[in-house]
Amino acid sequence: MIFEWCTDGSEGAGRAEELGVKRLELCAALEIGGVTPAESLVKTVKEEFRGEVFVMIRPRGGDFVYSTREIELMKEDIRMCANHGAEGVVFGALQLNGSLNLSTSTTLLQLAHSLNLKVTFHRAIDFTKDPVASFRDVQSLGFDYVLSSGGANTAKEGAETLRRMAEQKNDGCQIIAGSGVDPSQVNLFREMGLSVHCTARLLARQTGKNMGAVYSLNEEKIIGMVKAINHA
């Protein structure tokens, strides 16, 4: 069972590693679901964190319907991640009607795999009409992981859909339950054969004037997650 910690890099990846985190998803702008972080941040986090680093590949907030120009930017960001030694990348692409964009997903997946990067199809799958059917399609494309809340606001609320997805899973693709996951839910997802993903941060200060907030590492939650994961 994998515990993937989602961070924007400001909370101390080195300290999280000391507390037992072995894998992280690196993003920027978590308040809008995460976008691609700066190259300097990818480089720095890879230098201070010895576990696996999966980097978000998302050129903007909003939906997951990308223009040709945006897809080219995503390709460049995938190459950047490989150049800095990331272990994986995280992305997802949809059509305007909410169905999977199989062509774009395949193109990006093949590029990432050619660079020896593992790939997670992210929560774009939760915006499709049928996450279970979409999971079967994503799995057939060859994605290594799928991050999902089962189409609900939180993974706990979407647990039944996640269970149905897990019933369709083959050995080549792992499902990671994400959104609102806390230590008390680890056994629920473990019993389904799923891994878990969550943020662990505390509000440090609010800047005001719509400039966002600054966060610090929630060590208590990290410790709780690691303990729950290790307590089989």
Q: What is the DSSP letter of 129?
A: S
- Please give the pLDDT value at position 212: 87
Looking at residues 120-142, what average pLDDT do you find?
97
DSSP 100: B
d(CA 66, CA 69): 8
CA distances from 131 to 14, 17, 149, 226 (A): 35, 32, 9, 28
DSSP conformation class of 20: T
What confidence tens digit (pLDDT) does each residue in 180-210 have? 999 999 999 999 999 999 999 999 998 888 8
CATH classification code of 3-230: 3.20.20.380
- The domain ranges of the chain are 3-230
| C-alpha–C-alpha distance, residues 106 and 11, integer Å | 33
97 CB-contact burial (10 Å; exposed 0-12 / middle 13-18 / buried 19+):
exposed
What distance in Å separates the CA atoms of residue 174 and residue 156, rounded to the nearest whole number?
Answer: 18
Report the alpha-carbon distance of residue 78 to residue 63 in Å, rounded: 19
The residue-averaged pLDDT of 215-225 equals 95
Higher-scoring residue by pLDDT: 209, 102: 102
Burial 192-221 (b: 16+ CB within 10 A, else e): bebbbbbbbbeeeeeeeeeeeeebebbbeb
Among the ranges given (10-14, 23-27, 145-149, 163-167), the one the predictor scored with the smallest mean pLDDT: 10-14
Task: Collapse the DSSP code of 213 into the 3-class scheme (helix H, G, I; strand E, B; otherwise coil) and give the result.
Answer: strand
Cβ atoms of 127 and 94 within 8 Å: the answer is: yes
59 has pLDDT over 90: yes
Percentage, residues of the chain above pLDDT 90: 92
For the stretch 18-43, pLDDT in tens is 999 999 999 999 999 999 999 999 99
Q: Do the Cβ atoms of 51 and 17 come closer than 8 Å?
A: yes
DSSP string for residues in 44-93: HHHHH--SEEEEE--SSSS-S---HHHHHHHHHHHHHHHHTT-SEEEE--
Amino acid of residue 90: V
Q: 232 pLDDT band (50/70/90 cuts)? A: low
Q: Is the pLDDT of residue 10 over 80?
A: no
Residue with structure tokens 């395949």?
A: 106
Return the pLDDT at 11.
80
| pLDDT value of residue 33 | 93
The whole-angstrom separation of Cα 74 and Cα 58 is 7
pLDDT given at position 75: 98
